[in-house]
Amino acid sequence: MDGSLGLERTERQGEVLDAALALLVEGRERFTMESVARRASCSKETLYKWFDDRDGLLTAVVQWQASKVRPGAYDAANLTASALRASLEDFAVTWLGVVSGPPSIALNRAAAAHAGGGKAELGQILLSEGRFAIGARVKPLLEAAREAGLLSFDDSETAFRTLFGLVARDVQIRLLLGDRPAIDIAREAAKAADQFLTLYATPKPQKGPHP
């Protein structure tokens, strides 16, 4: 999956979506068709033509931003204990940086509100481009580390969810609820990696079961 879902946008459409996103992120003004049109210097009619309706516009904005912050892959070759630790820490730093950023906060709030009415579409997009995409990138790393004898676990999904919890803690929910927790990302990331390794690193540094 490349995230485009066959929805290529023209340059102008990208500008409009950026403007809409900025509006949503700032939060100074309500996200209304008119405010988007004004901000993007386009007509409402164009918005309706391109994105069908308000929901379509919102969906396109979420899609647009989510596809911009695809997580990077982690090198699973030549894994050493220190390289693994570095990758875990890097994942944690990146993730904390993204979710504590205003775009993530605004989009997640919008999606949560959207899910309040029956519609779960925005949430699904954010989850599949965020949480699940990340899982898909990190799990191979974990499995490679297991292969290399560095980690031991039964289920990589379970292991990843533990890592996720150790990194996230209460940060995301507090941010979504309007709290502004002071977090030292580097420090928290290091601690999370540390704790994860404490839980999952194989007891003794040995070579794996497959020489």
Partner DNA sequence: GTCGAACCGTACCGTACGGTACGCTGCAAT
Partner DNA sequence: ATTGCAGCGTACCGTACGGTACGGTTCGAC
Q: 149, 206 in Cβ contact below 8 A?
A: yes
Query: Are the C-beta atoms of 114 and 122 separated by less than 8 Å?
Result: yes
Nearer to DNA, 59 or 87 (CB): 59
Q: Which does 68 bind (CB under 5 to 8 A by kind): its own copies, DNA, none?
A: none
- Which tokens is 75 given? 């090198």
Stretch that binds its own copies, among 9-17, 35-43, 63-71, 124-132 (CB under 8 A): 124-132
Phi, psi of 164 (to 5 degrees): -55, -50
Residue 178 contacts its own copies per CB under 8 A: yes
Report the candidate in 54, 62, 103 with the shortest Cα–Cα distance to residue 37.
Answer: 54
Task: Please tell me whether residue 201 adopts helix, strand or coil conformation.
Answer: strand
Q: Which does 106 bind (CB under 5 to 8 A by kind): its own copies, DNA, none?
A: its own copies
Q: From CA 62, how far away is CA 68, in angstroms rounded?
A: 10
Q: What is the rounded distance in angstroms from the CA atom of residue 181 to the CA atom of residue 171? A: 7
| Shortest CB 198 distance to its own copies, Å | 6
Q: From the CB of 29, what's the least distance to DNA, in Å? A: 8
Considering the complex, what minimum distance in angstroms separates the CB of residue 200 from its own copies? 10
Binding mask 82-121 toward DNA (x if CB under 7 A, else -) reads ----------------------------------------
Binding site for DNA (CB under 7 A): 10, 12, 30-34, 37, 41-46, 48-50, 53-55
